[in-house]
Amino acid sequence: MDPDLRKTAAQVLDDQWRPPGFTCPNATTYPWLWLWDSCFHAVVNAELGRADRAVAELTCALSAQDGDGFVPHLQYLDGSHAHQELWGRPRTSSITQPPIYAAAVVELAERGVEVPDELVDRSRAGLRFLLEHRRRSPAGLVQIVHPWESGCDHSPRWDDLMGGEFDQGEWFDRKGALLATIERSPGGAPLHNPAFPVGSVAFSALVAHGARRLGTHLGDRSLRAAAEELAGDLFERWDPGRRTFIDDGPTSMGSGRVRTAEALLPVLVADPGRHRRIVGEVAAELDDPDAFAGPYGPTQVHRAEPSYSPGSYWRGPSWPQIDLLLWWGLRSVGDVAAAAGRLAAATVRGAVTSGWAEYWDSDDGAPGGARPQSWTTVAVLMDQGNETT
């Protein structure tokens, strides 16, 4: 463990700490609360021994949960009315992001943090909403209602439904339009979008992973069973030829097959016995310099994909939070520990070389997006795993 790394991480988080108790992702570009970012910040704070901040941030992140269990992904806690028209409501967004809060509760508890019951209950309710009320795809995957719910906003996985070639401006307009077609519960929770009915392997993997971790932690058999069922459906989506998991729904014959790093996230719920071969292939892809591997962390899009663009937002560079999740998945399977260690070491190198950027070029660590970005402090979690370089 590198004490300097931990010191800088603590500084980045301190500088971006905001009332009433959350870390903004970046002071200028992202001044508000984003759901999955805050969950990562909470785990890093727990790792740094700052239990109060860890609990405060998770509390804040889950505080806008509604009666259906739905958790909005953005909160404007400074009283700003920005984007109110876009979301059709004040103070929060009207869609969610991956439910990292469930894994975060367990990560905090494992570090000796006393997690209030209310946080545990809210995490469970958030998962239940996604597992029981969110529409499933024909193959049983959890649908997202909007690309922003994935957290991987401009991933080539969405290309088929975004009306053609990637264009930042046009995509933004299309994303605005897609908000209008979301079908909601009477209370306003997003359930389904007929214009974007994507069974996302990445999002489903994060739901299953959260449910497995929290279910195991609490001894909640029904949560555990729901996780295992979803994990089983996810492993049916493995394509041995393309060596990726395929999304279900309208993109399954097209952009839902693009090889992206986030599409490998089902490794998080692999059964070490049954899925050993697939996990080995995922690790090999992430470790192969002609596929994803890079000296500063894995690329987010496979290098041989036509859409691969090493410097572009969600079209190629390395993203620290995706790298962390992949590492969590790989390190739980013994055979691939060396590849997992290399991935972790490369990501830590990328975080430092890029100056704690939001994302960076896998080949030279050149920074991209906002800087410093709070979630890049997840490097301190991965610093423990870099036994192999």
**Phi, psi angle pair for 71, to nearest 5°:** -115, 115
34 binds ligand GLC (CB under 6 A): yes
Contact status, residue 156 vs residue 255, Cβ threshold 8 Å: yes
Q: Which of 22, 36, 70, 245 binds ligand GLC (CB under 6 A)?
A: 36
Residue 24 CB, nearest approach to ligand GLC (Å): 9
Q: Which helix (H) or strand (E) holds 306?
A: none
How many whole angstroms separate alpha carbon 321 and alpha carbon 59?
20
Buried b (16+ CB within 10 A) or exposed e, 349-383: bbbbbbebbbbbbbbebbbbbbbbbbbbbbbbbbb
Residue 381 CB, nearest approach to ligand GLC (Å): 17
**SS3 label, residue 63:** coil
Residue 4 CB, nearest approach to ligand GLC (Å): 24
Considering the complex, state which of residue 322 and residue 340 has its C-beta at the smaller distance from ligand GLC.
322
How many whole angstroms separate alpha carbon 291 and alpha carbon 275?
21
- The pattern of x and - marking residues 109 through 148 that bind ligand GLC according to CB under 6 A reads ----------------------------------------
Q: Which of 69, 72, 151, 350 binds ligand GLC (CB under 6 A)?
A: 151
User: Contacts with ligand GLC in 299-358 (CB under 6 A)?
Assistant: none
How many whole angstroms separate alpha carbon 47 and alpha carbon 379?
11
76 binds ligand GLC (CB under 6 A): no
296 binds ligand GLC (CB under 6 A): no
Nearest CA-CA partner of 207 in 139, 143, 302? 143
171 binds ligand GLC (CB under 6 A): no
Considering the complex, state which of residue 24 and residue 340 has its C-beta at the smaller distance from ligand GLC.
24
Strands 244-245 and 190-192: unpaired
How many whole angstroms separate alpha carbon 265 and alpha carbon 159?
20
Q: Which of 37, 247, 248, 281 binds ligand GLC (CB under 6 A)?
A: 37
**SS3 label, residue 318:** strand
72 binds ligand GLC (CB under 6 A): no
Considering the complex, state which of residue 198 and residue 340 has its C-beta at the smaller distance from ligand GLC.
198
Tokens standing for residue 262? 């986030």
22 binds ligand GLC (CB under 6 A): no
57 binds ligand GLC (CB under 6 A): no
Contact status, residue 24 vs residue 374, Cβ threshold 8 Å: yes
Residue 37 CB, nearest approach to ligand GLC (Å): 5
Contact status, residue 375 vs residue 333, Cβ threshold 8 Å: no
Considering the complex, state which of residue 151 and residue 316 has its C-beta at the smaller distance from ligand GLC.
151
Considering the complex, state which of residue 26 and residue 386 has its C-beta at the smaller distance from ligand GLC.
26
Distances (CA, A) of 226 to 127, 229, 233, 276, 298: 10, 5, 11, 22, 31
Q: How many residues bind ligand GLC (CB under 6 A)?
A: 7
Q: Which of 6, 13, 16, 25 binds ligand GLC (CB under 6 A)?
A: 25
Tokens standing for residue 180? 């209008």
How many whole angstroms separate alpha carbon 205 and alpha carbon 40?
17
Residue 315 CB, nearest approach to ligand GLC (Å): 12
Residue 102 CB, nearest approach to ligand GLC (Å): 17
Residue 16 CB, nearest approach to ligand GLC (Å): 11
Could you list the residues that contact ligand GLC (CB under 6 A)? 25, 30, 34, 36-37, 151, 153
